[in-house]
Amino acid sequence: MSPNLAEAAPRCHHCGQTQLRPALGYEQAQRVTSDCKPWRAGGVLALCPACGLVQTVVGPRWQAEAEEIYAAYTIYHQSGGREQPIFAGPAGAAQARSEAIIQALVAHTPMPARGRWLDVGCGNGALLRACGQALPGWTLFGSEVNDKYRGVVEALPGVERLLTGPLAGLPTGFDLISLVHVLEHVPGPQALLRDLAGHLNPGGRLLVEVPDCRQNPFILMVADHCSHFSLGMLRRVVAGAGYKLLHATETWVPKEITLVAQLTPGLSAASEGPCLGESDQVLTGWATLQAIVNQVALLAAQPGFGIFGTSIAATWLDAQTGGRAQFFVDEDPHRVGQEHLGRPILAPATVPAEAKVYLALPPALATRVAQRLRAARPSVELVSP
């Protein structure tokens, strides 16, 4: 047993089980923050065989590190605060992630002309901006731990105000509550969802967006995440909190899981068995990452080495190679021409000829991106996981 594991006295923060199965060697790897900055090694990654949750063990050390990360948090700093776009479809057309989520929600779920929407963990208001554009009759509220972005959020069309402080002090009477990239940060995610049910009107809906850790193992290295979800595990957590599942999908946003549920009076909390097959696949992602590091180390020793991406995967891989990437490559025009980690961010068409670029993406997504990039720069060697 490693010193870190003994220090943590591991206990599942979802079900309380103490017999966790750790990922060996994880505590020795560099990590990354959720706002895409390198972070020191440490932490304990483990699977709970009782409930199936893959998690970073929550203890005093994790709590202290999370507080340190959030105190210096700079959202979307690579693009001046602009939300990271997604590139979907064969041509890779760019679209703001929040716009994609709201468009899919409206397409798959009947939305009344009016209602009250609370976005928990709203950041600088990306989702609220998309809500205001798509649902102009709705009254919108944001919730955050502090008022850093109050002026920005409250200036958005449709937003009544930004709420700060403990969630228990929030008003009630909402028709929809959203948590976009929030639940993975929260110890005891099911308890949080039960508490939020008290702030929804009967029949009110819940919208949850989390990283898909089965498709994207890079997300396991985020130091301030404590829950690493698969689709089945997220369904289990939400149903166990007393919600009726309406939609649960991995297709609305690449590398992410979207779930829509409804608060139904009289509905008993569903009790699904642990999805251990999916959970094993998530934990196995750690071994995949170790193989990727070995693969990238060989490339990093060669001239003209760059990494595709400027977010979590690229930031983590660069740290693992000792910062040896000479440049980063991104399709986001708001990031191109900037710097990441002190090195230039290039557009695909401007990558030096004969360069070697590692695609810091899940394999299936890397294949699609490589097809686009080869058309823009055929002389560049593209390497996929």
Q: Kindly state whether residues 262 and 308 are assigned to the same domain.
A: no
Residue 201 lies in a domain: yes
pLDDT value, residue 123: 94
In-domain check, residue 143: yes
Looking at the structure, tell me whether residues 265 and 162 fall in a common domain: yes
pLDDT at 219: 97
- Tokens 């992602």 correspond to 285
Q: Are 242 and 377 within one domain? A: no
Whether residues 225 and 246 fall in one domain: yes
What pLDDT score does 337 carry?
A: 96
Residue 321 counted as domain residue: yes
One domain, residues 212 and 270: yes
Distance in angstroms (rounded) separating the CA atoms of residues 204 and 134: 19
* Residue 284 counted as domain residue: no
151 with 270, same domain: the answer is yes
Instruction: Tell me the C-alpha distance between 196 and 198, whole Å.
Output: 5
**Residue 91: per-residue pLDDT:** 58
Full domain range(s) for residue 7: 3-71
Task: Please give the pLDDT value at position 167.
Answer: 83
The predicted structure's pLDDT at residue 94 = 82
- In whole angstroms, what is the distance from residue 237 CA to residue 193 CA? 9
The answer on 33 and 91 residing in a single domain is no
How many angstroms from the chain centroid is the CA of residue 37? Answer: 14
Report the CATH number that the domain containing residue 330 is assigned in CATH. Answer: 3.40.50.20
Q: Which residues of the chain have pLDDT under 50?
A: 1-6, 8
Q: What is the pLDDT of residue 273?
A: 65
CATH number of the domain encompassing residue 87: 3.40.50.150
State how far the Cα of 83 lies from the Cα of 96, in Å rounded to an integer.
7
Closest by CA to 178, choosing from 261, 234, 249, 236, is 261
- Number of domains the chain contains: 3
The domain boundary, picked from 71, 102, 131, lies at 71
Determine, yes or no, domain membership for 174. Answer: yes
